[in-house]
Amino acid sequence: MPAVVLVGAQWGDEGKGKATDLLGDKVDYVVRYQGGNNAGHTVVIGDQSYALHLLPSGVLSEKVVPIIGNGVVIDPGALIGEIEGLQARGVSCEKLLISANAHLIMPHHKALDRVTERYLGKARIGTTGRGIGPAYGDKIARMGIRVQDLFDPGILQKKVEGALNEKNQVLTKVYNRRGIPQEQVVEEYLAYAERLRPYVADTSLVINKALDQDKVVLLEGAQGTLLDVDHGTYPFVTSSAPTSGGACAGSGVGPTRITKVIGILKAYTTRVGSGPFPTELEDEMGDWLRTTGHEYGVTTGRNRRCGWFDAVIGRYATRVNGVTDFFLTKLDVLSGLETIPVCVGYEIDGVRVDEIPMTQTEFHHATPIYEEFPGWQQDITGATTFEDLPANAQAYVRALEKMVGAPISAIGVGPGRHQTLSLRPLI
């Protein structure tokens, strides 16, 4: 049976939580394959709203086995806090599995994330301050500390000592901060070990066995395509690979097992943090989109930057992820507009281009070329089929579909579980 990848098609915050939750009934396993508690998924069930950061959205479905894959970086304190928060609301996390190979976010990663951002000043990336970049940096530099190290106190002691011998020099001598006491860190992390032990497993083995047994596995990305460290707007990106290619490395599943790639695409565009954003609206229209779409970060509470739909980015997402289906979210937010501009290409230094330019310098110079689509005045939040949508809303969806080059198979018309129009089965 298939492994299905779910990937953000823009700069994250496209509404992946809703899509995962929608697929919940058809899925047996949901695997997070990258990122950490920099992510924020909101899932609304009935009158309850759940903000998830590190746990896969599948945790809210009783039937699903939620897995944190090896490609994720884990802040154990944050993870335990999230598990306890859900348990206090009656959500059981007992099926949760955590990869023994996932890397840990350590106190020095968080300290360095904050201090390097401050040091960068105007050139800062606008990170979430959760230690994500420094944790992935150490992973690649082969000096990371993994979940499995928690279960060998001697090794943990040695690794913390090795890391802090270097990092404390950097914190104190380069950034003029206080060093982090080794013993305190070891003690804190050994206490986490006890709490996490029941969940830890060889998750690649579990997932592949599940696929052998015809189970449906959803590989859930965090962030989005344009925040990918390889394919995004580098250096204004996160430090992992949210694109579908990252799903294999971050979960231990071979590419031949993936049969579908579902791209989550918002009906307009948002981004948090710094970096180029051609269709950004820095006026009342942008404020209107932010207020109407409730575009405030789930993790940091920051205002999201808002702008019109960018078809160049949509096409790019189709290409680099091999998207087979799109889930278009938040179409209802656009109700009430006279006309809706869509960016169909860019003008860069006097030349029209239809693809993301090769260099970041060109991308910074990109000015959107807009096509105007007639809006609709009706409230669409009660629609249950595509045909229920006003003709102009249908035409908007069809136009987007044509521009991005892959079918739109589901449409979100409100935050609730039932507020989704299905055009064809996603799985």
CA–CA separation, 71 and 30 (whole Å): 14
Q: How far is the CB of 77 from ligand IMP (least distance, A)?
A: 17
**105 three-state secondary structure:** coil
Rounded to 5 degrees, what angle do the CA atoms 139, 111, 14 make?
Answer: 70
- Which residue type does 189 have? Y
Residue pair 114/80 in contact by the 8 Å Cβ criterion: no
Token digits of residue 422: 């299905």
Query: Partners of 372 in the beta sheet?
Result: 341
Query: Partners of 296 in the beta sheet?
Result: 303
Residue 102, C-beta contacts closer than 8 angstroms, at least 6 positions apart? 68, 69, 70, 71, 72, 73, 74, 146, 147
Rounded to whole angstroms, the maximal C-alpha distance in the chain is: 66
Nearer to ligand IMP, 114 or 158 (CB): 114
Residue pair 317/308 in contact by the 8 Å Cβ criterion: no
CA–CA separation, 288 and 307 (whole Å): 10
Token digits of residue 232: 């995004």
Q: How far is the CB of 259 from ligand IMP (least distance, A)?
A: 26
Residue pair 227/12 in contact by the 8 Å Cβ criterion: yes
Nearer to ligand IMP, 10 or 99 (CB): 10
Q: Which residue is nearest to ligand IMP (CB)?
A: 273
Residue 294 catalytic?
Answer: no
Q: How far is the CB of 127 from ligand IMP (least distance, A)?
A: 4
Nearer to ligand IMP, 125 or 206 (CB): 125
Q: Which residue has the tokens 């390889």?
A: 230
- Which residue type does 364 have? H
**365-376 core/surface letters (b: 16 or more CB in 10 A; e: else):** bbebbbeebebb
Nearer to ligand IMP, 223 or 321 (CB): 223
CA–CA separation, 372 and 342 (whole Å): 6
Nearer to ligand IMP, 112 or 222 (CB): 222
CA–CA separation, 300 and 128 (whole Å): 7
Active-site residue, selected from the candidate residues 21, 25, 28, 41: 41
Nearer to ligand IMP, 128 or 225 (CB): 128
Active-site residue, selected from the candidate residues 13, 149, 310, 325: 13
Name which of 334, 346, 337 is nearest 371 in CA terms.
346
Q: How far is the CB of 171 from ligand IMP (least distance, A)?
A: 18
Residue 41 catalytic?
Answer: yes
Q: How far is the CB of 151 from ligand IMP (least distance, A)?
A: 28
Nearer to ligand IMP, 102 or 150 (CB): 102
Q: How far is the CB of 39 from ligand IMP (least distance, A)?
A: 4
Q: How far is the CB of 426 from ligand IMP (least distance, A)?
A: 22
Residues within the interface to ligand IMP (CB under 6 A): 11-13, 38-40, 125-128, 130, 132-133, 222-223, 227, 236, 238-239, 272-273
CA–CA separation, 62 and 67 (whole Å): 14
Which residues are part of the catalytic machinery?
A: 13, 41
